[in-house]
Every structure is written in C-alpha cells, then in structure tokens.
Structure 1
C-alpha cells in the first residue's frame, strides 16, 4: 500500500502520519510482521534505525524458519544466498570426539535442512520484500519517543531521520521488533536480565578456517569448551563466523585486547585450535554482554513485543531468528484480528504468548544446562530409547510443539538427565560407551571438589 510523503504543519511541527500498525525495527521479526499485515491490506509503517545492508550476528537458520520464509515468498531467494545446513555438530574437548545431529532424523519431516546466511543480505532481502508487499519501510529512522494510547485512541511515535528531521506517526497498534534495543521493554521498565544465564560473547568473521569434516557438509559446529562454548558457522565465499560464549567472570580475566583474548581462547581449544591455525580476521572482533534478558510481559492493550524485543536467550541452538520470525508471524495474525475486533482477538494474543513462552522454555531448559557434565555426556553419547535422540533433533530443528509425538521423547530425555544427575551426585558418570563408571576414575580423586 503506497502512501504520500510526510509533510510539515505551518508551525514546523511534523504532521502525524496516520497508519494502522507502526513497527519499530526492520530486522527479521519486523519484516515478517510487516509483510503479513501489508498482504492483508493493512497500512503498515516499519522504522529501521540503520540502513540495509548492515552487520548482524545470528547467521544460522533452523528448518522451522523455512516454512515462514516460504509463506513470505522468498524461499528461493534465501536458498540463493545461503549455505546448505543439514544439521548440527557438537565437538567436546573433554571427550575428544564429535557427534552430528542430522535434521532428517527429526520427528518433523516437512523440513529436513536449513541455511546459513550472511545477515546483512538476509535482513535486506526480508526488508525489501516487506516494502514490495506494500509496507512503508523506512530506513535511517531512529525512534525517540513512544506514547502508548489506551482504548480506541491512537498512540504517538516520534522518530528522527538521518538528517535530524523529526517525524511523527499515529498508529492504532504498535509492534516492537527492535531487537536487543528492547525499545518498549526499556521505556516501560519491564526488561529484566536473566540471572540464570547471564553470558557474554566475543565474535568475528574469519577466512581460512579449516572444516571439521568435508568442506561441503555445512553443519553448524558447536565446540564445547572447558568454560563455555563457541560456534563455527560456514558462510558464503569461504567466510566462517566464530563466536565464543561464556560468563562474565571468564571474560573479566582478559588482560590484553579483545582480539588477543579471542585468539588465545580459540588456540587453547584442542578441537578449535587446529582449525584456526592459518585463519585471518576480516574485521575487528566484536563483543556483547548481558546476553540474556526477558520482559515481564509481551502483550499490552495496543502493543506487543516480538523476537528479541521481548527476550533473548543464549544462541547455542541458533533459536534467535526462528523465535523472532515465528513470534512475529503469530503476533501479526493477532494484530490483524485486533484491528477489526479487539475482543475476538484476545484468544489469539493468549495463544501467541503461550506459543512464544513455550518455545523459549523448551530451548531454555537445554541452554541452562549446556555447561553441565551430565548434558554434555548425553550429547556425546546420544541414545534413542523412547525416541529421545529424534526428539532432541526436532528441538534442535526448531520443532518443539507437535503434541504427544514430541512431548514423550522430550520428557524421556529430561527424565534421563535427572536420573543421571542423581547418579553423578552419587559418584558415577557416563562412559563414552554409555555405561557408568566412578567419576574418580575419569577425573581423579579430587572430583568432588571440582563438581
């Protein structure tokens, strides 16, 4: 849906632009919501503070992303810019082995692969698609003020463009898709750091990284380090995205530069060190802290929070873009219904919130335990009793909610974890051949002090 350019009132104040929905943020979540609402005839304005293409981390998509990408009409375009991803591979320095989980072995057979993408190209593709489908997609537009209205009144959103000029919008509904800026959560003072998983990361793009196996496999590789983990994602043109994730105390040990510490940690890993022996950085190492957070609510009377604007959890299972796009999809459908009848839309908003909270809970359970010896042993010795391994593969693929068929394997996996956790406390640990042995035989007589 086209719209006339913004104009000024005689006194110099920007004339409010009337619209149905104002979306803060032009990343995957914002572009998904904008496309779906514009296709349904809604007047949508999407404001992106930067100009595409721009750098962003989070380059590994999950199979569950592809059904949404197909609905947006850009699956073949994503295929053209992506690196084929058949699964995920976990490498443990402690165990001295690696295990691959192929998506084709999951419970959901609709999508058995995915892609790695450079986010600059991927995000621009989605943003341009939203514009092509009728959304007013504006770049270099930084939101400065949000005044949320009640009832049938319109909210007020003010933004400043690249020249410093102010623009004013009067939407019936506001969708916050501002990512880790968490625009509304910050303004409403409902953003809370996740104390259970308060991690940080160092990351960069490298050339010359040796593949773990054959160059054409395409798996994301998760290296389980002594005090955290790191990702290695193959991107187009021989580029590899590598990031180190650990707690703040680990990074506070750094005495030199970020780049020196980045190389030091990678070289110290028996599995990663050989892979980066001849690699070079393409750009300065980047850092981010306070990785995990969550807003206390995600639905208001005339606004919702989607994707990272609501919450962000550790990226070990590449869930960020998938959660952003699925939450935006469900949220957009609820918003569309709300614009016609707020009362009838209430069940849809409730379903939207339950789905997002459920998905985050499913991923969080694994994420909170990724550094636990119990879970690492289970990853390195996967068993398929009660479909546990296949259920785990489905979760890694982003398919977590398929009724009893998926709940039973996940519950079996959790039950095995808690059983083994009890055994570990009694002094036993899983051997690589999936038997049990005294932990002292593996870790020495002081294992209790190190537990």
Structure 2
C-alpha cells in the first residue's frame, strides 16, 4: 500500500450505523475518511427502534449534508423499498402494565402513536441489514473502509494520530472519531471510563426470537382497552414493578420478509440483583411466567440466538471530545433502552459534528474548542435521559403514577420533534442548508425541547415530584396531582390533546393528517406566547406537500401499497397484524 493511501483527514473506528453515516457525510464534502471495523457485515446489533426525533433528525442530516441515502432510513415506506424488507413498522409506543399472577387489566395501558405518512411512521430496524446498507453507502461515497481490522493502539501527536492495527499496519489521520460503542477503544486507551454518575441502575437480558405472538391476539379486545393503534404495530413495553420488557417485531407489516422479533428484559439492578446460579435464559423465562398475559404472548416463542445478559447497563466517560479526538454518543455513555434514546442522541451528535469536522479539515484547525458544543449537549442529553428513565422505573410502581409521568415524556417528544420540523420547514422554502444552523441556537439545541426554559421547567418540576415520592416526602396521590398541576400551568399542552384528563390514556391522540393539522394550527394561532412563533410555524403546508409526494412516489414505484399509504394518512387502526403469513415450521 502506497504511503499516501495511509494518510487521511479523519479516521473513524467502528463501522456501525453511527460511524458509517458520519463517514458518508464527511466524504460527500471532500474529506478523506478511513473507517476501520473490527468485525464485518452483516452482524448482529441492537438499538432497533426509532422515535420521531430520530427520524426527523435523519431527514435533517440527509438534507443538510446532501446525502439522500440517509433519508431512506427516515420513513418506513422508504426503508422497506430501498434498504430492507426485513424491517418492521412502528406506529406507536405501547405500554401495558402487569401485576404478578394476574391477566392485564384493559384500562391499564397507554399509547403514544408515531406520526403517520408522509412524515412517518417510525420503524423497527433489522440492524444487520440497515448497518450493512449504510456501510456500502459510505464506501460508494469514497470512504476507505476495512472490515475485520482491529485497532490495537492510537498514538496522538501535535499534528494528528497514528492508528496501529493488528493486521493492516499503521494509518495516519488528522482526527480520530471513536464509534465503537460500549467496548470502544479510545475510552479505554485514554482512561476516560468512570463510574456512571446516573440515578438509573438497570441491567438487561436480550435476544431475537421467532414465534412471538402479536399482543393483539392475546390482549383484551380493542373495545375494552380503547387504544387507537394495534399494539403489535409498534414497540411494546410490558411494565411491572422494577422492570419492563421490550417487544420489537420485524414481521408486523404485510410486506415483511422476516419472522424475527427482538425481545429484551430490563430490570432494576437493586430490586433484582443478577443471580449467580441462574442462566440468562432461565431468568428471562422466570420473569415471563410471572405475568399471565406476557406468558400467553410468548407461549410459542423460542430464541434463535444466544441470550445476552449484562451487568449494569449504564456506562459513562469523563468527556466526549479531546485534543484530536471525539467519541460518538454510543461510545461515550449509555442510560437504558427505554425510550430508544441511543439513536436519537447519535443523530443529534452527527448533525453537530459533521459541519465542524468539514470546516476543521478545510481550515486545518482541530482546536478542541471547536467541538465544545458537542461535549456539552451530548452530556446534557444523557443527564436528561437519566432523569426520564430513572423516574420511569419509579413510576412503574403504580399504573396511575405511570399514567401521569408518561404525559411529561409525550410533551417533551412533541416539542423536541417540532424543533427539527421548524428547520425542515425553513429549508423547504429556501433550500439553503444554512437554515439548519438554528438547531444549534436557543431554544432548539439538544433534544426533547430541553433548551426551551418552559419545557425544562415543566420537566424539572415533574421530576422533582417523582423523586419526592420515592423519598417518601409525597404520597402517590399528591405526586400525581402535582404532575397534572405542573402540566396545566406550563401552557405547553395543546388544547386539542387530552393530556390533563387522566382517563384519556392516549392523551396525544393520533398523528394522522387531520389531527396533525389541528395541532399545527393550534400552535400557530392559539398557543401561548412562549410557544407561538417558535414552534408550529408553517408546518401545515409542508405536511400537505409531502403527503402528495408520498402518494405519487408509491404510484411511480408501481407499489401495491398505495392504498395502505393513503389509509395510514387518515386512519391509525388496521388489522395488518392479523394477516401475517403463518411462520414456517
């Protein structure tokens, strides 16, 4: 290999979805990128469920950096057409509460639907296909990529770094990005790992299965639970005191070619310490059998890969950026799979890191101060998710408490998603990528609306009430009353939502075209002053335009799913889950 083929502007260690998207963005703008992946593709990975902020962030990333292939990951229709038919659809976040030894009660569930077409729905990524797709996209844009290449050491000098690999010799780069996840190389090499400073203390057992029944086939009928979307058409969370179980089906749409379902049991580490004398498989099934409705869903299920059991799920690093290096979020810290935060924080970081690295290469200036924004907001979002998740584990004590706390999360989701939509609306008018700069200005920085003082105050006061409950300072009833009081005083709740009605267990309603238009119109014309003008400005026109584009796109592709696209624009309920082909024996 010639010497100039060993010298790069940026080296990325880790070829998963985050590393390959970053490499593609940089290469698209003339940066010489080296990507080193220790294993190969396809390969197993979790982090399979998107959320609205992830998919909106992917749209921003694709348009800001002119990489349309990234936008194929942003809606389920594009994903299944361009990437993989092994991916599932996510039309909702479903939460079902369980008591040991009892069938689930019809009125103890909540739901938050994701956005319908054209801006949604969200997806269940079959990561081995999605990651392989992005790896090949990166290579097609000019990234120099090597798989099965372990990096044994990185030596930093004043003008760059030398990466020493096990089998391919050494490479030089001006800057190094570690996208290696929990076992990332740089945190170990630089001594960055620290005891997680987080309140959340949980552990996980996970695998992939076949034969997991749609929960709609075993749950109380819709007439009793009154949720607007089928549970099996989304990410299902089975909640119980001290834990929860995810069910992420990849076979839940009519065109799916997969029979797999991702499942994971998450347990409060203090309430359920990891046993020394029980296998991961045995412990998993012990908990499944505690809850009759869960047991019915899993009565035909079997694992198709080994169970993985973790110690404490949380990990942390002292900082995210340093002299000539940076950690992507999933290499820096992690909280918990609840609320699918990993991909959302990663996409936020990629949007902020991309233009900084492009400018740094062009100006040959990699001063650490240039990347301080990334360090601050990545760490701040991990602190936020720690608060959100730890209070959720507390709220799992009682359904009514969860029903109240859940509304805090749904409200932050609305404002976080709409912040990115504001940038997209402006871009549609101007087609100037500079309009995305507002995402790094108040009140749009970070995720979940946390840069907005009104949203932050609402969240902090609700969190403090839950923590007071845990400390024994407030009764459950007073905690619930306090959360509703805070929500009402915030002025953030759309008048078209049922957030302040405890009996409405899907308080956001649905995000099909007409309800979505009503939210946008409320925000533009009827919301309080601290909302109006900062959010919901002009989004109705964008939604209408993209609805037409989604319909015509299906027609041009000769898709047999045109009717389904139109249906999903207007209706949230379907019986696609009941029309799935029977599994092969």
For the aligned pair, the TM-score class normalised by the smaller chain equals: 0.7 to 0.9
How far does the alpha carbon of each residue in 1:389-428 deviate from its partner, in whole angstroms, 9 at most, with x for none? Answer: 6414438979764768965345324423434654673563
Does residue 29 of the first structure (1) align with residue 18 of the second (2)? yes
Counterpart of 1:93 in structure 2 is: 98
2:113 aligned with 1:102: yes
The residue aligned with 1:234 is 249
Shift of 1:257: 2.3
Answer yes or no: is the 8 Å Cα contact 1:330–1:352 preserved in 2.
Answer: yes
2:94 is aligned with 1:73 = no
Q: Equivalent residue for 1:211?
A: 214
Name stretches of at least 5 consecutive residues in structure 2 with no aligned partner.
Answer: 73-77, 218-229, 252-257, 420-445, 484-585
Larger CA deviation: 42-51 vs 166-175: 166-175
Where do 1:372-387 residues align within 5 Å? 372-373=394-395, 377-381=400-404
In 2 relative to 1, CA 430–395 (structure 1 residues): closer, same or farther, beyond 3 Å?
Answer: farther
Paired with 1:213 and 1:432, the residues of 2 have a C-alpha distance of 32
More strand by share: 1
Normalised to the residue count of structure 1, the TM-score between the two structures is: 0.81
Secondary structure at the counterpart of residue 213 of structure 1: helix
Q: 1:346: Cα distance to partner?
A: 5.7
Q: State the number of aligned residues.
A: 413
- Preserved CA contact (<8 Å) 1:193 1:292: no
CA distance in structure 2 between the aligned counterparts of 1:431 and 1:136, rounded to whole angstroms: 59
8 Å contact kept, 1:32–1:126: yes
Counterpart in the other structure of 1:371: 393
Aligned mate of 2:171, from 161, 169, 191: 169
Question: Which residue, out of 158, 165, 172, partners 1:159?
Answer: 165
Equivalent residue runs for 1:126-275 within 5 Å: 126-150=134-158, 153-160=159-166, 165-194=167-196, 196-213=199-216, 217-236=232-251, 237-248=258-269, 250-253=272-275, 255-275=277-297
The 1:113–1:410 alpha-carbon spacing in structure 2 relative to 1, beyond 3 Å, is farther
RMSD: 3.3
Q: Is the 8 A contact 1:193 1:290 kept in 2?
A: no
Task: Quote the residue 1:84 is aligned against.
Answer: 89
Greater helix content: 2
Hey, what does 2:514 align to over in structure 1?
none
Distance 1:356 1:426 in 2: 32
1:340-397, Cα deviation, whole Å (9 max, x unpaired): 336697664122223322322222211122221388644324686xxx4641443897
Aligned: 1:44 with 2:39: no
State the TM-score, normalized to the length of structure 2.
0.64
Which residue of structure 2 lines up, in the alignment, with residue 442 of structure 1?
Answer: none
- Give the equivalent residue in structure 2 for 1:117: 125
Query: Secondary structure at 1:272's aligned position in 2?
Result: helix
Distance of aligned partners of 1:173 and 1:110 in 2 relative to their CA distance in 1, 3 Å threshold: farther
Alignment check: 8 A CA contact 2:206 2:309 kept:
yes
On the 8 A contact 1:180/1:308 being kept in 2, the answer is: yes
Residue 59 of structure 2 is aligned to residue 57 of structure 1:
no
- Does residue 317 of structure 1 match 2:339? yes
Q: Is 1:337 paired with 2:359?
A: yes
For 1:163-208, what per-residue CA distance to the aligned partner results, in whole angstroms no more than 9, with x for missing partners? xx33210101111111111211111111113153343211111122
**Separation of aligned partners in 2, 1:435 and 1:36:** 45
Distance 1:411 1:141, change over 3 A: same
**Are residues 166 and 185 of structure 1, via their aligned partners in 2, closer, same or farther at CA, if it must alter by over 3 Å?**
same
Give deviations 1:183-239, integer Å, cap 9, x for gaps.
111111111131533432111111221222376852111122222222111113232
Cα gap change, 1:189 to 1:208, in 2 (>3 Å): same
Is the alpha carbon distance of 1:406 and 1:393 closer, same or farther for their aligned partners in structure 2, counting shifts above 3 Å?
A: same
Q: Deviations over 1:269-289 (max 9, x none)?
A: 244222111212222212222
Change (3 A) 1:259 1:421: closer
Q: Are the structure 2 counterparts of residues 147 and 290 from structure 1 closer, same or farther at C-alpha, using a change threshold of 3 Å?
A: farther
Q: 1:429 aligns with which of 476, 496, 502?
A: 476
> Cα distance, 1:326 vs. partner?
2.5
Name stretches of at least 5 consecutive residues in structure 1 with no aligned partner: 1-5, 9-14, 437-451
CA distance in 1, matches of 2:329, 2:468: 36
Cα distance between partner residues in 2 of 1:24 and 1:283: 26
Tell me which residue corresponds to 2:349: 327
Mean CA deviation greater in 210-219 or 225-234: 210-219
